[in-house]
Amino acid sequence: MDEITLKALAKINLGLDVVRRREDGYHEVRMVMQTIHLYDRLTIQKSQTPGIQIHTNLSFLPVNENNLVYRAGKLLMDEFGITDGVTVNLVKRIPVAAGMAGGSTDAAAMLYGLNQVFDLGLSRRELMERGVKIGADVPYCIMRGTALAEGIGEKLSVLPPMVKCPVLIAKPSVSVSTKFVYQNLQLDANTMHPNIDALIRDIRKQDLDGICADTGNILETVTIPQYPVIAQIKEQMIKSGAAAAMMSGSGPTVFGLFRDEETARHALVDMKSSSLARQVYLTNIYNNRRK
Ligand code: ATP
């Protein structure tokens, strides 16, 4: 095989709690991760020119070692002494720096793709072990589906698949620094934590109403006061009939869960005409895991 084209799928957080701040500055989290069918496209080609060449449709993205695709490639190519080169064409649709693990899922696709193209024989678990060296979310992006992520996000437990439903994605034109959000998170006796255990019970019961009632993201307490447009997008989604609307990760992307396709399609039109968001997509829950 000389070439492979892969979908690198985005994630949303159906629930996100921060349990505590560790001595070393990292935060212990409990997150319910869910893959959605919104994706970047990665074409990986063997080439005669040594090294990793990356081409992308977004001119502001780095194409050197600051791109997670490059880091993923270098990690495997160094380990396996691969002297051929690779050319990667990365078509990005997942909003960048937006709480949807865009970079991590591209890195995951690169690991998966190089394993195929160079016939390295690594199992999914072995790819996940390498992925964590690139970022805490990468192992999850290799696995996909519904999962509980704990620790700093790298400890994964498989959950039963989430109820399939339409998902509206809206990203306003503000940039959020993940570091700023975590640094400004207040964790004390007054902090309201989302009930992740209740959310997991709802998922096990396939209870979409329960899921919608129990979604929660503790990071909204930092990001929303900073960027009120996030609250406006949530309100707009609810007004259009979303069963739940919440920020993903550290934001600013908001996702809405819908009970039916028709309401979701109208909500897409409403969101576009509101001009609250710069990137708007209608997609759905994706439950297939990688083998
Ligand atoms: P998370 O949900 O894990 O917080 P994110 O959506 O906040 O991820 P990314 O889209 O992964 O963040 O991008 C964060 C930063 O990483 C960007 O500023 C970008 O320059 C850099 N980056 C490196 N590689 C990539 C990539 N392949 N795609 C997008 N961003 C990348």
Which residues, other chains included, contact 153 with Cβ-Cβ below 8 Å and sequence gap of 6+?
29, 31, 136, 137, 140
pLDDT of 1 reads 81
The band of 190, judged by pLDDT with boundaries at 50, 70 and 90, is: confident
Using only C-alpha atoms, what is the Rg of the chain?
19
84-101 mean pLDDT: 96
What is the average pLDDT across 13-21? 96
Q: Minimal CA–CA distance to 265: which of 162, 163, 166?
A: 166
| Sign of the dihedral through C-alpha 204, 210, 211, 215 | negative
Predicted local distance difference test score (pLDDT) of residue 243: 98
What would the pLDDT profile of 268-287 be if each residue is shown by its tens digit? Answer: 999 999 999 999 999 999 99
Q: Is 202 labeled as catalytic in the residue annotation?
A: no
Q: For residue 171, indicate whether it is catalytic.
A: no
**pLDDT for res 231:** 98
Q: What average pLDDT does the structure give for the chain?
A: 96
Give residue 24's identity as a one-letter amino acid code.
D
Choosing from 38, 44, 68, 69 the residue with most ligand 1 atoms within 8 A of its CB, the one to mutate for a pocket test is 68
Go through the chain and tell me how many residues it has.
291
- Cα angle 237, 239, 245 (rounded to 5 degrees) comes to 35
pLDDT at position 272 is 98
Distance 264 CA to ligand 1 centre (A): 27
Residue-wise pLDDT tens digits, 212-222: 999 999 999 99
Give the N- to C-terminal CA distance of the chain in Å, as an integer. Answer: 19
CA distance 10 to 269: 22
**Average pLDDT score over residue span 133-138:** 95
- Ligand 1 touching residue 103 (CB < 6 A): yes
Question: pLDDT-derived band of residue 25, with 50, 70 and 90 as boundaries?
Answer: confident
Distance between CA 227 and CA 225 in Å, rounded?
A: 6
Ligand 1 pocket, residue 120 CB under 6 Å: no
Write down the pTM of the prediction: 0.96
Amino acid 287: pLDDT: 96
